[in-house]
Structure 1
């Protein structure tokens, strides 16, 4: 489905409070953030004291949001009188999020002030499930846990050690640590909720969270759980919007009319689970039209193995790859894709032509669609 275009919305004036800047006690202009050079001492009016004009002095401390794996930048506003954090806002100099955060970022204050927040190590003292715990010191926790892990290693019971974490923020560092210990027991909740895409990425490129150059792309192809819907794609969504403003064509493949689909130039809504057939039909059209990136394919894809194992009747030269792939994809015609996926054949052909015209400036992303990611 080709999505209709509409006039861009006019920018809204900022509603942020005036900030105090050097040499100007209370500036008359509105700004999103205090200048970076003033972060050690920023004065502003306390909104809770209104209608009184009570000034508060804060130190702005850069930190990171851990409410998802995007790890967007935050500024903790620390009251210089009490030493307590009063609020969180986006960090405008963070290279990824650039000060633009979803609602989860400022909501971090709720975690800081949560009355049930665990502030020290707790050790179970009753039977499992009884809910009986006692407070211990960090030294006790590290000594006891380290002792048990060390004993398992010395007794060659590496398979009994497992590391589980909620939100990972180590950028694969713990993987290297665990492998150096001789164990393969790293797990997190994201291994379940996003494994559909991560397995596919890791299998063919060795990294499970790539970031395409959306801002400079001419064609942006998005499939499954989408980047403008929040979660840890806020930095991606910003670049996609920039790319679209620069003229990029956005193609969204999703059974739902998601936020991304609503903003896309093309919305393809296949039957769930048929995405792979749709992609192979598009690939066949690119091969037939010779608008595939043959240079990239020759350099980065193991086409020699493909020819040796599937077409031993052909010479193992790159000149034979295109026709061998067309033969391999013989059943993935646009007409058959339309029948199986529920997407009009003309739309499939049109999208393939758009992708072909964006050769060399094509950016894609998939997430949480098992049939598409794998």
Structure 2
């Protein structure tokens, strides 16, 4: 960043965040005079104008699945060549109103990349040597299914590691196959690190209803964005929040970094990484001690309020300020604004999933929403409507109960991390760090065969050097991906997967829409790449599981839509399925907990030997908890920054996206960098107790001097996950703390061009 940019940034944010321009708005919340204004754009679609296409063009309405936002799009094709010309946001979409991020706009580069895998490959050289032979789908599936059967017979079903990545509409089909094959060691790099802690909170607190993950932004007076920056990772919600702001809603952002969301906030709480529990408990103390609660809702619909009230008495805002670095007066103001708003909603993100007390801090935010009466109400945290399609996200769909109990108990981490590995989990799965340690050591049993769908494991897992070492110990590895990744380079068989532009899909998720089931339509075919669902069905047939699956992916989507009365083809003509939100849904059937109420004191958490009320514990590594370590590693690392151009380790084969983010950056305060002799843009080395990685310094006034922020997803020496330590994990779920561990940074004496 040159000096002019630095000076401009200082003018924008200064040394302190200036919220004086929001004072009148904040006071209207506090004195009860706040009202919302009409936002015509937010209330409906952006267009409905008839589009006039050139004679050679046709358009296919679809859904971009570059990330979990799944934004509705229009795919323009050349009638003569059949090739995709461009992808645009759909201005008639009630979900996005025409918005689309850079990943969607650059999707043509994804589908036509010259680096795409086009045929199944079999390794013919040494592992990692890069020598491959193209083979038929029949041979690739036969070999892989044969190896799965062979190693299951040799080592037992526990001797297989069947892993996957982020969801793309096929994830639960994969899990279904794994469970029916009785393989207990299933999982993903991100489940204990992303979303699962929030969903576990929903299970523990609401009895499974996902109030913590659904938000009535069109009617809210206050948005509390805690550990989430939707502008870079959740485009649909970023638009919703800005629409809410335009209507007059207050935005409170909790973030260590001056993110896009913090920049738009009326109150920005610049918290130290991994101290969110202290802030949440401080909020609860203020709300309860000042009686800013919904007494009727607490009395009629909650369990354990008196226990929570006694528990948070000691957690004063002054105490919280000492830990979080957020001034006590600012904590008071934010808590009061949230609690006094006519309706408020909390939106949470992966930052809460990736800290040392992940599930518990999510629980604390749900308790805050509950005691202020913001559950199920208009403008609060709500649940999505049911459009009638079959949910893939149920234990019945994935046949969780099919694995015999004696085999379930062999799952790695079964006793130590019950919230992840047992039936309370959204998808019961193994604890990933412990599983990779098992692959390395052979204890408590050998794991010699693995299959990985949609995950670049050697980049996406924390403590990545350990993953690389563990993969080298496998006898057989099959990988399914769009590109040859570092993980694929180590495989014996590689399946070429299709992109979202090459497949149909039915998308029904709170991450996409509160009220709509979306229909994704295929627009292209590339080489011999296949939909993951069809690959999984092909494997399932060879594993003797044919009766549990469908003829192909098209019949699968017909099945999902069957209760609605539509086939996939008929639903595609409808564009989307709709059902309105039902407020106060709990009034009909209560909450599916043991008490029938929303459990502030969680009896289910207690059953699993976890804290029934969220309790503060210090970070695994910090200046206070590990002072001797802090002398060697004097900076706090938060290692999971998402760049809007990328999705985890994806999209780095797309030239236009690389123009936006050409290098792996480490964000660092200029004053800190100056003391360390690090110039803006210079190559630097990051070291921790786990290992080391490299990056390029990017100056920002938006971080505290003691905090640095790494960017995930880059391969090789630039993989910041190499620095994320193992050994201590979140209670019950086993989350690796990758936002809030200690590191040191130093310049590298290399010429950088």
Into which bin does the TM-score normalised by the smaller protein fall?
Answer: 0.7 to 0.9
The change in CA–CA distance for 1:217 and 1:177 in structure 2 (over 3 A counts) is farther
Deviation at 1:280, TM superposition (A): 0.3
Please state if 1:222 is matched with 2:225. yes
Alignment partner of 1:104: what SS? Answer: helix
CA distance in 2 between partners of 1:299 and 1:141 (Å): 58
Please name the residue that 2:142 is paired with. 143
Name 1:204's counterpart in structure 2. 201
Residue of structure 2 equivalent to 1:14: none
Q: Pick closer, same or farther for the CA change 1:178–1:73 going to 2, 3 Å.
A: farther
Match of 1:61 in 2: 60
Equivalences for residues 206-355 of structure 1 within 5 A: 206=203, 210-228=213-231, 230-231=232-233, 233-293=234-294, 303=304, 321-322=305-306, 324-355=307-338
Give a deviation string over 1:240-288, Cα, whole Å, max 9, x none. Answer: 1122222221100112111111101100112222221011011111112
TM-score using structure 1 length:
0.73
Using a 3 Å threshold, how does the CA distance of structure 1 residues 136 and 63 change in structure 2: closer, same or farther? farther
SS of the residue aligned with 2:21?
coil
2:53 is aligned, of 43, 48, 51, to 43
Mapped to 1, the partners of 2:227 and 2:347 lie a distance apart of 11
Q: Which residue of 2 aligns with 1:318?
A: none
The 5 A counterparts of 1:124-139 are 124-139=123-138
Aligned to 1:26: none
Residue 181 of structure 2 aligns with which residue?
A: 181
Q: Using the TM superposition, give the Cα deviation of residue 159 of structure 1 relative to its aligned residue in structure 2, in angstroms.
A: 2.2
- The 2-side partners of 1:278 and 1:82 are apart by 58
* Cα contact 1:217–1:363 (8 A) shared by 2: no
Confirm or deny that 1:87 pairs with 2:100.
no
Q: Are the aligned partners of 1:123 and 1:133 in contact in 2 as well (CA < 8 Å)?
A: yes
Measured at CA, do residues 359 and 177 of structure 1 come closer, stay the same or move farther in structure 2, by a change above 3 Å? farther
Residues 237 and 85 from structure 1, CA distance in 2 versus in 1: closer, same or farther, beyond 3 angstroms?
same
The within-5 A match list for 1:22-33 is none
User: Does the 8 Å CA contact 1:64/1:73 hold for their aligned counterparts?
Assistant: yes
Higher relative contact order (CA 8 A, sep 6+): 2
Q: How much has 1:117 moved relative to structure 2?
A: 0.9
1:69 & 1:119 partners in 2: Cα distance? 25
The C-alpha deviation readout for 1:105-164, integer Å capped at 9, x for no partner, is 111111222111111211112221111111112222222223333445566722233333
* CA 1:81–1:144: 2 relative to 1, 3 Å: same
- Give the Å deviation of 1:217: 1.7
Normalised by the size of structure 2, how large is the TM-score?
A: 0.38
Q: Name the CA distance, whole Å, in 1 between partners of 2:262 and 2:300.
A: 33
Given that 1:66 and 1:167 are in contact with CA atoms closer than 8 Å, whether structure 2 keeps it comes out as no
Aligned with 1:190: secondary structure? coil
Shift of 1:104: 1.0
The unaligned stretches of length 5 or more in structure 2 are 1-16, 23-45, 360-753
8 Å contact from structure 2 (residues 222, 343) kept in 1: no
Are residues 196 and 166 of structure 1, via their aligned partners in 2, closer, same or farther at CA, if it must alter by over 3 Å?
closer
Which structure has the larger Rg? 1
RMSD across aligned C-alpha pairs, in angstroms?
3.0
* Deviation for aligned residue 1:101: 0.6
CA apart distance, 1:290: 2.6
Asked if the contact 1:60/1:78 (under 8 Å) is kept, the reply is: yes
Cα distance change, pair 196–145 in 1 and its aligned pair in 2 (3 A): closer
| TM-aligned CA deviation for residue 234 of structure 1 | 0.5
Secondary structure in 2 matching 1:88: strand
2-side partners of 1:197 and 1:138: how far apart?
33
